[in-house]
Each structure stands twice: as structure tokens, then as C-alpha cells.
Amino acid sequence: MLLELRIGNMALAEDVVLKPGPGLTVLTGETGAGKSLVAGALALLAGGRADRGIIRRGEDTAWVEAVCDLDARPDLVERVRDLGVPLVGDDLLVLRRELHREGRSRVLINGNLSSQAVLERLGTLLFVIQSQNQHRELATTGFARDLLDAVLGLGGLRSQVAGALKEYEQAAKLLAERKQEAGLAAEQLDMWRYQRDELTRASLDENEEQELVEAIGIKRHARALQDAAATAREHLDHGPAPARETLGAALAALESHADKSPRLTDALQQLQAAADLLADASTELDRFLDAFEVDPRGLDELEERKALYEELRRKYRRDVPALLTLATQLTDRLERQDQALDDLDQLENAVTDRRDDLVEACRELHEARIEGAPRFAAAAEEAIRPLALPDLDVVLQVDPDLDAAGALEVAGARCHVAAHGADRVRLLVRTNPGEALGEAGTIASGGETARIFLGLSILARSAPAPLLRLFDEVDAGLGMDSATPVALLLRRLAADGQALCITHLPTVSVHADHHWRVSKQVDDGRTTVDLQPLDGDERVEEVARQLGGEGWRRDDTAAQAAYARELLEAAAGAVKGRSRAPAKGRAES
């Protein structure tokens, strides 16, 4: 429940606190006393638009704070935690929104900075605000459809439609992409085949080009290379002073004395390493000379082969590894194109199957709505007619959402299909006999639409209940006697949590579990708003004041006080199941 709502430096509210209890709490006061401040504060905590103009004159910051106890609402606890909002050990949630005259506003959740987006999502979970301007919501596209589905429990069928639509769209997208790819491939096919064949014939190898460079160099300088290698080997192994023999003599001279001096040992090791290197070099020169061919024939072929590598790299603007990758890709494209017709047939069959599944899901949802609409209408009339709308007629009209350009045909007509199905659902009402049916959001007056929405709220209680519902003068335009059913309905809505009602009618006030009065006072030339809980004689006095405002025995304050007590006693008796209504005709006296 909402334990406390605190408002600071907002318009006329300097620092006021409201502590609504469980059940129904009413807020009363003279016109202009500041009751709308409470509604505005809750709207801010629900993520509503902030206006810096409401900051109290002379102050830099306005704020509103709510302390919520979710201990008895594990469903809300789970959903709040799903939003990544931590709760303290006793499942308390503290929301605070600050408006600054200069700079950005701030959102704090349990003392931690948060964002407007998180506050908006929390607000929809915790608070539902209803006013006599509710016709705007009644006129919202999809309101009647969503309400009908919620009341009839069609969430499962809607999920089937949404899933079938997603699969159909995915299949259609895959088919479209494959067709586009096949069309482009058809245009590029000859070029792809030529490139693939050219690269395949080239038989490229990542290492060959470097080998060609060496082979060409050898062919071009064969005699000079052979002479150089032979001369080097002669100096190593033959001639007047062979390098290997000279090095061997040096090793022999040191070997018998090296152990007597570390420095000689190091020199001996270095000479041994040099001897090993000379031996390896000599062996390599032997191999070179044994395999050497002086014949320059084949040079042209090698140069042509090297030129092919250069030409392909220049032509395709790729190095050799990338050319090999391209050859593989071209082969894959050509093979895929060969399979294109088979692929398209399979994809088209998949789209047809998914389309059939979607149409069937839409049809089932459509028929369920058609079947359940009369039951919904009858239940709506039963709930709303006692709310001073005795002649109300309600019709839920379910029609295909026609779309001549639609890709799907549902219920024999081309329709626009969305995740919620292929129907257009309208909530039609007639509030006066002999009049035509019309859209609930446009044909009824502000007070009527508020009461219609209030009655519909009872039908939609299967949805997760908020922490608190605020009803802002939904009884506007009603007389005292006509408001009693509204008050009883508000009590029913508050039974699963809390409801806060701003009202001018005494016959609504007396049915509240808790009563608060809003008043204005002037201190040192500044006007402030005060909130005060009422009980006992103070509550009787406030109800009597409301009776005077309604014009009943305006100058007879004693009669008003007596009747206020009767109304309060009758309301208390009704709660306990006893009928203790005041004498008939008293309200007309």
C-alpha cells in the first residue's frame, strides 16, 4: 500500500503529507482548495510531464515523494525487481521526483539516482489515475479490443497470433531476400563463372610467386652464380689455405690447453661453432652446385607465370590469399545459384504454411471475440447501469480490419493483420433511449464516460491490480442519490488494495474508510495548502459542509450536521451488511 505521499514547494503546497489507509480514502475540500495538487503529484510519480511553473514562488526546487510498502504484494515485488529496482529488506519502495528551476529534474528510487524511463515503468505498475476526462482513453485505438480480450481471457489466442505473425514475417523476409539474391545472381552469373574459371585455371599457390622470383633470378644469372658457389667452396675445402683446415688447426692447438683458462675455453667454443657453420655452408654449396642447371631454357615460362600472378593481383585488387578465397566464394555462389529454384520452391512453401497458420490463429481469435462480445456487453451494462446510467446500452462490435492492399485474407476479406489479430473492435454505447449507438469515447459526456470507464474497471480486474487507484472527480455531474452506486463501486475496486477519490459529493465521502480534508490558509501573506485527516465530529462537519455545497438546507447547519451523521451511520451499516439508509425523501427536503 501507499504509506505516505509528501509534496514540497509545489504551487501552494509548502510541505504537506497524505497518508491514505487501506481501502477507500476520500479527499474533499472547497473548490480551489488544492485537491488537484494530489492528483498532479501522483501523476509526476507515474512519469507524467513536469512543468517548472508549478515550483512555489521563491523556491528553487519542488519535489514529491511516495513511500510504498509492497510486502503484501509479491506480484508487484517480482515485477519491480524485474525492472532492476532493488528493494530494502522489508519490501519498501521510496520514489522521489525533484523539479529544479535551473537544470534538469532528478528521479531517485530508494535513494539512488534513476531515470525518467524507469519511473514511467514503475508508475504504470503502482498507480492508475482516472479522471472525468477518461473519454480520451476510451477513444484510444485498441482500448475496446484490449479490454475485451482481457475480460474474456484471450491472452493465449493473442500470443498464438503474435507468434504466428512473427514466423510468417520471418519466412516472407527470407523468401524476399532469396529472390533478390537470385535475381542479382542471374545478372552476375556469367561474370561470376568467368572469374571462377579464370582463377581456377591459374592454379594459384600462396608460396609459388616467391619461388618464381628465385627461379627467375637463378636462370638469369646462372653462370655467375655457379662460379661464385664454386669459388666459395674452393676456399672452404681446397686451395692453398682451405678455411676449414685452418680452422681445424686452430681448434687442435687450443683443445689441450683450454681447460686451463676460462677465456681459452670460451674461444674454443666459438671456434667450434664457427667450424660447424663452415661445414653447413660447405654442404649447402655442394647441394646448390649438384642441382644447378646452366641451361637458361624455361626462363620465358617462369616469367610468364610470374606475370600471371601480377596481372591477377592488379585486376582483382587482392593479394594471393584473398584471390584463393575469392575463387572459393565464387564456386559457392555458382553452386547456390544452381540450387536457387529448389530453394525458392521450399521457401515459398514455407511462407504458404506460415500464412495458413497465421490466418487460422486470426480466425480463432476473431470467432472467440464474436462469441464473447455479447457476454461482455451484458456484464458491462450490469456493472455500469447502477452508476446513474439506467438506460445504458452497450454493444461490442467486432469486424475484420479491412485493408484492400492487405496480403492476408481473414474471415473472407483482406485485412490488416497485427500482433493483436485482424479485427477492429468498437465499444458502442447508447446513454439515452431512442438515440443512436455511438463510440463510447465521443458520444457520452465527460461524467458519463468517467462512470462508464469506472464500471469497465470492475470487469478488467483480472489484470494485475495497481498499488493505488486515484479517481479524480469521476462523480462530477451526479446528484447525491445517484452517486451512492458510484461510491459502492469505488469500495469494491479498493477491496484489493487502495483507492483514493477526490470528490465533492457527501454521499461518496461517507462510504470512505478514511477521510482527508484539503484547505487553504494564509500566513504572513503567503497562501499554503494543508491536508488533515478527519474523524468523529470533524468528519461530520466536513460532510455537512458538502451538503451545504449541494444546496440541501443551505442555511440550516443543524439539519445538515444531523443528516451528515445519518449518512455516515448508514454507510457504516452498509459495510457491515445492514441496511441503514436515511429516510427516503430526506435528500429532496
Helix orientation angle between 262-291 and 243-255, rounded to the nearest 10 degrees: 160
The Cα 394–Cα 378 span in angstroms is 7
Q: Taking a C-beta distance cutoff of 8 angstroms, is the pair 431, 450 a contact? A: no
Q: Which of 136, 124, 104 is nearest to 47 (CA)?
A: 124
pLDDT tens digits for 436-452? 898 887 776 767 777 88
Cα Rg, the chain, nearest whole Å: 45
Q: Taking a C-beta distance cutoff of 8 angstroms, is the pair 474, 486 a contact? A: yes
HEC assignment per residue over 152-203 = HCCHHHHHHHHHHHHHHHHHHHHHHHHHHHHHHHHHHHHHHHHHHHHHHHHC
Rounded to 5 degrees, what are φ and ψ at 26? Answer: -110, 150
Q: What confidence score (pLDDT) does residue 266 get?
A: 81
Residues in the chain: 589
The Cα 308–Cα 312 span in angstroms is 6
pLDDT tens digits for 536-571? 999 999 988 888 765 566 667 788 888 889 888 888
Which residues make up the CATH 3.40.50.300 domain(s) of the chain?
A: 1-132+446-534
Q: What confidence score (pLDDT) does residue 552 get?
A: 61
Q: pLDDT below 50 — which residues of the chain?
A: 578-581, 583-589
The Cα 370–Cα 355 span in angstroms is 22
Q: What's the first-to-final CA gap in the chain, in angstroms?
A: 41
The DSSP result for 333-344, as a single string, is: HHHHHHTHHHHH
DSSP symbol at 418: B
Q: What confidence score (pLDDT) does residue 585 get?
A: 40
Return the number of other C-beta atoms located less than 10 Å from residue 326's C-beta. 16
For residue 151, the number of C-alpha atoms closer than 13 Å in the C-beta half-sphere is 24
Q: Which of 385, 496, 506, 508 is nearest to 1 (CA)?
A: 496
C-alpha cell at 166: 512473427
For residue 132, the number of C-alpha atoms closer than 13 Å in the C-beta half-sphere is 13
Model pTM score: 0.60
Q: Which of 27, 41, 97, 65 is nearest to 531 (CA)?
A: 27
Q: Taking a C-beta distance cutoff of 8 angstroms, is the pair 533, 516 a contact? A: yes
Q: Which of 62, 368, 531 is nearest to 542 (CA)?
A: 531
DSSP symbol at 97: E
**Scanning the structure block, which residue is given the C-alpha cell 683450454?**
258
C-alpha cell at 285: 654449396
For residue 279, the number of C-alpha atoms closer than 13 Å in the C-beta half-sphere is 8
500 CB contacts (<8 Å, ≥6 apart)? 20, 24, 25, 26, 27, 38, 42, 468, 469, 470, 471
The Cα 501–Cα 470 span in angstroms is 6
DSSP symbol at 467: S
In the CATH hierarchy, which fold is given to the domain comprising 1-132+446-534?
A: Rossmann fold (3.40.50)
Q: Which of 466, 502, 494, 467 is nearest to 2 (CA)?
A: 467
DSSP symbol at 50: P
Q: What confidence score (pLDDT) does residue 72 get?
A: 86
The Cα 96–Cα 40 span in angstroms is 14
The Cα 401–Cα 157 span in angstroms is 17
